[in-house]
């Protein structure tokens, strides 16, 4: 079992190595792949030294699985070449997510849809993953009619340069500006690029990907995505309208029993999810669960997850585990 990690030196790539190690993934060899300028160099990743391979070398190696986290353009160019060589690709970019020919997978929700014909598998957007992990059991039990989502997204979702920008600002230093404005002591309602209708690409990902993962185009999702000066993970304020009424105790019990979801919801004890405490964990945390008395069959909740783990690396490794387990 040979695994290639494409984008090995990036923030998500490094976490992929950590997750593979933590979950005892049955890899006999892990090949680190990065840009041509890094090829041939030795890099320390997750406590071990790896020689960085070029894309051409990785394709020629004909690994069993390749975990991609190197951007959409790289995925569009190279994922088909890996697939043609017999390597199953799990891609963390947006390149294949909305393609009708490719599965968009969260293992706990729709991993059963994978077949041996799926050579390129899309990993959803980080914000989408934590949202659908909570929505899926509610949709199955009550039917989700509409979701209004406001995100509070970590600078780690932009990459290491954004983290460095925030750290420089906190030290009072000037340097490269990844964002159009300072991020320290600020909130920027602008994640990714603006598209039609003045929604950002990140907001449209939440709308479109949620429908595809849940397998229901009737689910309505609208979002406002905001970048905030934290590093622990993404948070989401979510208002849901369901098709059927619900009893709060039963709804909480349903979420308690959902694998991969942890309910942290005790207002009396000031218990609720926060990105500071989600960092480094694989679960999706939900709290502040309460009925919305302003509209029938509606409720509010607060969802938090480490965007580099379940929002990216962990979900990708879980998909790889499904491929190994099913031998598909």
Residues designated as active site: 126, 234
Give, to the nearest 10 degrees, the angle between helix 126-142 and helix 248-256. Answer: 130
Give the number of other CB atoms < 10 A from CB of residue 21.
14
Which is nearest to 323 in space by CA: 88, 145, 131, 133?
88
Q: Are 51 and 69 in contact (CB under 8 A)?
A: no
SS3 231: coil
Q: For 311, what's the count of Cα atoms within 13 Å in the CB-facing half-sphere?
A: 31
Strand pairing category for 88-91 and 120-122: parallel
The Cα–Cα gap between 136 and 13 comes to: 27
Sheet holding 144-153, edge to edge: 220-227, 144-153, 234-242, 298-305, 284-291, 261-263
Q: What six digits make up the tokens of 124? A: 């959803």
Residue 104: DSSP 8-state: B
Strand partners, 282: none
Q: At what angle do helices 11-22 and 314-326 cross, to 10 degrees?
A: 50
């Amino acid at each position: 079992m040979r695994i290639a990690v494409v984008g090995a030196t990036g923030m998500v790539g490094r976490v992929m190595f950590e997750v593979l190690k933590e979950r005892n993934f049955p890899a006999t060899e892990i090949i680190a792949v990065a840009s041509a300028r890094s090829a041939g160099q030795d890099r320390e990743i997750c406590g071990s030294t790896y020689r960085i391979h070029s894309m051409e070398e990785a394709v020629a190696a004909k690994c069993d699985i390749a975990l991609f986290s190197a951007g959409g353009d790289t995925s569009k160019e190279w994922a088909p070449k890996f697939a043609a060589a017999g390597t199953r690709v799990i891609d963390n970019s947006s390149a294949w997510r909305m393609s009708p020919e490719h599965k968009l997978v969260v293992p706990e929700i729709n991993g059963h849809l994978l077949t041996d014909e799926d050579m390129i598998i899309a990993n959803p957007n980080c914000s989408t993953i934590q949202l659908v992990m909570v929505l899926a059991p509610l949709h199955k039990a009550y039917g989700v009619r509409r979701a209004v989502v406001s995100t509070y997204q970590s600078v780690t979702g932009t990459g290491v340069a954004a983290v460095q920008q925030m750290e420089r600002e906190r030290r009072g230093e000037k340097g490269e500006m990844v964002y159009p404005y300072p991020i320290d002591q600020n909130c920027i309602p602008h994640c990714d690029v603006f598209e039609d209708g003045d929604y950002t690409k990140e907001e449209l990902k939440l709308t479109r990907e949620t429908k595809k993962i849940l397998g229901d185009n009737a689910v309505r999702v609208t979002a406002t995505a905001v970048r905030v000066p934290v590093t622990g993970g993404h948070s989401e304020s979510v208002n849901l309208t369901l098709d059927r009424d619900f009893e709060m105790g039963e709804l909480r019990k349903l979420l308690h029993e959902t694998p991969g979801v942890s309910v942290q919801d005790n207002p009396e004890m000031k218990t609720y999810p926060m990105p500071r405490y989600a960092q480094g964990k694989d679960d999706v945390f939900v709290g502040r669960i309460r009925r919305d008395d302003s509209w029938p069959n509606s409720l509010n909740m607060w969802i938090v997850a480490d965007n580099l783990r379940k929002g990216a690396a962990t979900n990708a490794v879980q998909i790889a585990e499904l491929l190994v387990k099913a031998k598909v």
